[in-house]
Structure formats: C-alpha cells, structure tokens
Amino acid sequence: EPEVTQTPSHQVTQMGQEVILRCVPISNHLYFYWYRQILGQKVEFLVSFYNNEISEKSEIFDDQFSVERPDGSNFTLKIRSTKLEDSAMYFCASKHGGYTFGSGTRLTVV
Amino acid sequence: TQLLEQSPQFLSIQEGENLTVYCNSSSVFSSLQWYRQEPGEGPVLLVTVVTGGEVKKLKRLTFQFGDARKDSSLHITAAQPGDTGLYLCAVGDDKIIFGKGTRLHILP
C-alpha cells in the first residue's frame, strides 16, 4: 500500500537553529499538508499546499515556517529559528480523496 | 470551546466487552471522519460518514453519523487488545480539524 514517508523520524536541535523536515507524499496525490501534535495535545493543522503554492495556513504557521516542493517528489517544512515550543510531532499528509498521514518526525528543541 | 468534543477521554475495558465512544458538536458538518492513532504514528483514516443517519461497518467497528450531522458515534463489539489506541474524530475536506480523541485501552 502506498505510504507517505517522513525523514528523519527523530530530530534534536538547539534553540535558534534551522531545521528541515522532509516528506515524500504519495506519487499521484496533488494536495499536501503539514500538521503538528504537541505531546498530549490534539493534532493541529499548519499548512496546505496545492499547485506549488500555499492554499491555507494556520496562525501557528508564522514567518518562521516555510514549505517547499523542490522537485517532483519531496515536500519540506522548514523552521528558520526553532523555539522550545516548536517541540512536537510533525506529520506530513497527502490527499487524493482521503488523507494519508506519514508516521511523523519527532522534533525536540533543547 | 472545542469544535469537536469527544467522550470519554479515556476508556479502559476488558477484552470481549462492547463500547461506544462519542463525538459531539454544536455545528453541522457535511462529513465527518474517524481516525485511529497509535503511539509514535500518524492518524490512520478508518471511515468517512457523509449522510445524516448513515451507518458504516468496518468489521467489529460500527460508525454512525447523527441525523442532524452534528455528532457521531463509534461502537466496538467484542473489543480486542488490538483495538487499543487513540480514536479521533475530525471534520474538514481540505484543512482537517481534529477532536482531542478517546484513548482506548483493552485489557487482555
């Protein structure tokens, strides 16, 4: 069964550093998303991406965040200068009809 | 105030018992989804309900969408340890809004 693949599975970074979280969506999907889940809290929408541009973003997705689809297969989330409160599971998802989520990247900011 | 209220928050029952968990809102939705999430994994879509009053079955899981399309329930018959997980209801066609979930633990 096709999967959404995320790398790395875990990332530890120092506060203020830039991180790039990578995702390979399912190949025939056209809609891509990032969500995050802070430990013990609900899954929250960050951003949706379609036709090489952001279609919607949440209040969480401020100027420190950016997304990119640099080639035909990868979809990345960049956090420019990480804060402690960015520590969370970050899930990539793609959609063609129904959603498929990746297994997530656990980001820990220290 | 949460858009989607799920209850109970936690449920621990013995293997073989039946259970029902709920997802409620004051808003009307065109559709509603149920996901299951295991620790360290992303949510996995179980079902989407679209029509008011609709009932969908997935093996021992029965999903119902309320007549007014404001609420939904998930009933599990003869629960098994493999049913353990976080059950999330969610709404939205593009951007998804999730409930906080019901954490279910089935004791062998």
The pLDDT assigned to B69 comes to 94
Q: Does A55 touch chain B (CB under 8 A)?
A: yes
- Three-class SS of residue B22? strand
| Phi and psi at residue A84, to the nearest 5° | -55, -40
What is the least distance, in Å, from the CA of B10 to any CA of chain A?
A: 13
Cβ <8 Å between A43 and B98:
yes
For the stretch B74-93, pLDDT in tens is 999 999 999 999 999 999 98
Number of CB atoms found within 10 A of residue A39's CB: 8
Cross-strand bridge partners of residue A11: A107
Q: Are A105 and A36 in contact (CB under 8 A)?
A: no
What averages of pLDDT result for each successive group of 10 residues across chain A (110 residues)? 93 98 93 95 95 94 94 92 97 91 97
| Closest residue of chain B to A34, computed from CA coordinates | B95
pLDDT band with cut points at 50, 70 and 90 for residue B1? low
Report residue B52's pLDDT band, with 50, 70 and 90 as the boundaries: very high
> With b meaning 16 or more CB within 10 Å and e meaning fewer, what string describes A74-96?
ebebebeebeeebbbbbbbbbbe
Instruction: Point out the residue among B33, B40, B97 whose CB comes nearest to the CB of A45.
Output: B97
Chain A residue with CA closest to B40: the answer is A103
DSSP code at position B51: S
